[in-house]
Structure 1
Amino acid sequence: MLEEYTNQSLSEFDLSGCLKETIEIIRRYQIYLPSKVAMLLKVLIMLEGTSHQLDPRFSLAELIRPFGQRAMKRQLSPKRLARRAKANLEQWQRLMEILPHDAADILHKLKKGEFDVHLEHRKLDHVVNRLVIGILTAALFVGSSLMLSLKVIPSVYDVSVAGAAGCLVSILLGIRLLRAVHQSGDVTTK
Structure 2
Amino acid sequence: WKGRKSAFPAVGRISPDYYCMDGTIPRRHLAHVLLEMERMSEEFGLRVANVFHAGDGNLHPLILFDANVPGEFERTEAFGGSILNLCVEVGGCITGEHGVGVEKIRQMAIQFNDEELQQFHDVKAAFDPAGILNPGKGVPALRFCQEYRSLEHKQHKHDTVDAAHG
Tell me, yes or no, whether TM beats 0.5.
no
With a CA cutoff of 8 Å and minimum separation of 6, indicate the structure with the bigger relative contact order. Answer: 2
Structure showing greater Rg: 1
- Per residue, is there more strand in 1 or in 2? 2
Length-normalised TM-score, structure 1 = 0.21
Length-normalised TM-score, structure 2 = 0.23
